[in-house]
């Protein structure tokens, strides 16, 4: 057991690059996952039978099979149909599609939590359906879904370790390879674990910041300057 | 609700002058929800600057009539004329028609994620595309208008939930 070796691994470019790869996979998969989720959630909300069925089949497929299976399937089976993706692309595609299914359900819960009367009120003001979605429903839904989305973000960070099976040079694969060369498992895995904790901490901080910036009570404090600018105009009357 | 009594009985002086049509004309509209027929050949004229009060027990169709006027509910039959134009089937242009017809809901339906001032400014800014800086839409102007009894101090950052019924019923800003 050598603490020095743990520190050496932590500061080594190989581990740093692997951690950045893990972060890159996580962030891109989350981005496309949220996008896919939004599409599926809106398909489910739509008044069209076919779109609801489509969304349901998607959810059934991607929640019904293991992520690990989906990663391996996309990497190994799709080339047989002429679709050849790099290991990194396969990993991101698989994780995004999987994430989309869970994100869709979270988004749907948020959209459903905004009361129907709020939509009607928006329509009565003359907003279009898209305007109601953008200015009234989504901002309110976003606040509601933030805690579960935070869960998904941190979950994704850890799920990204699974893509080591298709030989993407991410944190766990690099740690394991390093250790198998000299059997210093404790040091290599500890270094990887510390990197995971650092990344998770960053994500938790980001979630906390987002939650506070969307909280009306917090926004209120930030805007006191605007009040002071307006106050004299009214005092004059 | 059955408002089938001829509209001119209410105000003979105005209907006498032919040519100028009422601002809002409702002619024999029907509305049913399932087997529940709410509006039965309902007719009503509203002229410019006229104030009309609808009174009736709950469930008698007051709100349904209002919702049919600004197309939140399409009428099953009959016609609604607004400024002389038949808007009954214009569901595609509903958003443009609603810009000219105001509506306040029974439970107000304030937008919880917006401040009091943003609630007021939403329609002028997002629907009519007015600037936030135009004096007529600025919250201080709106506020002074609606707070006759209280000192007009525009706390533009207060949120509906924070001040609850006081905010709603008195239009107060703190």
Band of pLDDT at residue B9, cut at 50, 70 and 90: very low
Check which CATH number belongs to the domain holding A123 and give it.
1.10.3720.10
Mean per-residue pLDDT over chain A, rounded: 88
Cα separation, A120 vs B72, in Å, equals 7
Cα separation, B153 vs B159, in Å, equals 15
Cα separation, B127 vs B20, in Å, equals 30
Of A140, A230, A233, the CB nearest to B112: A140
Tell me the count of A-B CB pairs closer than 8 A: 94
Cβ-contact A92, A83 below 8 angstroms: no
Q: Does B157 touch chain A (CB under 8 A)?
A: yes
Identify from A233, A235, A237 which residue to disrupt to test chain B contact, counting B C-beta atoms within 10 A and taking the largest count.
A233
Of A120, A128, A233, the CB nearest to B140: A233
pLDDT on residue B124: 84
The reply to whether ipTM tops 0.85 is: no
Cα separation, B124 vs A125, in Å, equals 9
Radius of gyration of chain B, Cα coordinates, nearest whole angstrom: 19
Q: Does A237 touch chain B (CB under 8 A)?
A: yes
Q: Do A227 and B115 touch (CB under 8 A)?
A: no
Mean pLDDT value of segment B146-164: 47
Cα separation, A193 vs A99, in Å, equals 23
Count the helix, strand and coil residues of chain A and give each as a percent rounded to the nearest 5: 85, 0, 15
Cα separation, B171 vs B52, in Å, equals 23
Cα separation, B38 vs B113, in Å, equals 34
Count Cβ atoms within 10 A of the Cβ of residue A192 and give its class: 0-12 exposed, 13-18 middle, 19 or more buried: buried
pLDDT on residue B21: 85
pTM for the complete prediction? 0.71
Cα separation, A101 vs A29, in Å, equals 12
CATH topology of domain B7-98: Rossmann fold (3.40.50)
The distance of B90 to chain A (nearest Cα, Å) reads 14
Range of the domain at A226: 3-235
Cβ-contact A95, A87 below 8 angstroms: no
Q: What stretch(es) of chain B map to CATH 3.40.50.300?
A: 7-98
Cβ-contact B121, B139 below 8 angstroms: yes
How many structural domains is chain A composed of?
Answer: 1
pLDDT on residue A222: 52
In this predicted structure, the answer to whether residue A203 has a pLDDT above a threshold of 90 is: yes
A143-173, pLDDT tens digit by residue?
Answer: 899 999 999 999 999 999 999 999 899 999 9
- In B, which residues are within 8 Å of A223 by CB distance? 115, 156-157
pLDDT on residue B107: 83
CA distances in angstroms from B137 to A50, A122, A224, B143, listed in the order given:
44, 18, 20, 10
């Amino acid at each position: 057991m050598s603490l020095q070796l743990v520190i050496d691994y932590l500061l080594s470019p190989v581990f740093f690059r692997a951690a950045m790869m893990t972060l890159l996979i996580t962030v891109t998969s989350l981005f496309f996952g949220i996008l896919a989720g939004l599409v599926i959630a809106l398909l489910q909300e739509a008044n069209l039978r076919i779109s609801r069925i489509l969304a349901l089949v998607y959810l059934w497929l991607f929640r019904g099979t293991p992520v690990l299976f989906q990663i391996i399937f996309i990497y190994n089976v799709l080339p047989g149909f002429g679709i050849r993706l790099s290991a990194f692309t396969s990993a991101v595609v698989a994780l995004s599609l999987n994430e989309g299914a869970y994100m869709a359900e979270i988004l749907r819960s948020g959209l459903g939590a905004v009361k129907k009367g709020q939509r009607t009120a928006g329509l009565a003001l003359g907003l279009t359906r898209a305007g109601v979605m953008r200015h009234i429903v989504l901002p309110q839904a976003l606040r509601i879904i933030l805690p579960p989305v935070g869960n998904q973000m941190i979950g994704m960070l850890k799920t990204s370790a699974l893509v080591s099976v298709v030989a993407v040079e991410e944190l766990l694969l690099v740690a394991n390879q390093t250790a198998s060369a000299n059997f210093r498992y404790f040091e290599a895995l500890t270094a990887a674990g510390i990197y995971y904790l650092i990344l998770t901490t960053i994500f938790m901080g980001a979630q906390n910041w987002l939650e506070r910036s969307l909280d009306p009570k917090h926004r209120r404090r930030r805007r006191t300057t605007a009040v002071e600018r307006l106050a004299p105009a009214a005092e004059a009357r | 609700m059955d408002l089938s009594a001829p509209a001119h009985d209410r105000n003979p002086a105005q209907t006498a002058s032919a040519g100028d049509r009422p601002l809002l004309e409702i002619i024999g509209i029907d509305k049913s929800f399932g087997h529940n027929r709410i509006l039965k050949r309902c007719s009503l004229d509203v002229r410019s600057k006229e104030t009309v009060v609808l009174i009736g027990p709950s469930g008698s169709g007051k709100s349904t009539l209002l919702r049919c006027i600004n197309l939140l509910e399409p009428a099953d039959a009959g016609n609604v004329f607004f400024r002389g134009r038949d808007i009954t089937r214009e569901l595609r242009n509903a958003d443009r028609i609603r810009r000219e017809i105001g509506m306040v809901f029974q439970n107000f339906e304030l937008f919880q994620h917006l401040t009091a001032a943003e609630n007021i400014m939403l329609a002028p800014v997002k629907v009519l595309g007015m600037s936030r800086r135009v004096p007529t839409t600025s919250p201080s102007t709106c506020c002074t208008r609606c707070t006759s009894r209280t000192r007009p101090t525009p706390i533009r950052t207060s949120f509906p939930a924070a001040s609850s019924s006081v905010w709603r019923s008195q239009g107060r800003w703190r």
